[in-house]
Amino acid sequence: MPVVEESVLIARSPEEVFDYLTTAQNLPVWDSSIMEAEQVDSGPMRVGTHWRGVSKILGRRFEWTTEVTELQPPTRAASRAVEGKLRFTVTNTLQQENAGTLYTFRVEADSGLGGVFGRLTDPIVEKAQRRTVRANLDTLAELLTQSDT
Q: What is the DSSP letter of 78?
A: E
List the domain range (segments joined by +) for residue 130: 3-146
Whether the model clears a pTM of 0.85, i.e. scores above it, the answer is yes
Number of structural domains, the chain?
1
Q: What is the pLDDT of residues 28-61, one digit of tens each?
A: 999 999 999 999 999 999 999 999 999 987 788 9
Bridge partners of 9, per DSSP, are 102
Residue 67, CA distances (Å) to 51, 61, 90 in order:
7, 20, 10
The band of 120, judged by pLDDT with boundaries at 50, 70 and 90, is low
pLDDT above 90 covers a percentage of the chain that reads 74
Higher pLDDT, 45 or 86: 45
Half-sphere exposure (Cβ direction) of 47: Cα atoms closer than 13 Å = 6
Rounded to whole angstroms, the Cα distance separating 97 from 112 reads 35
**CATH classification at residue 28:** 3.30.530.20
Average pLDDT, whole number, for the chain? 90
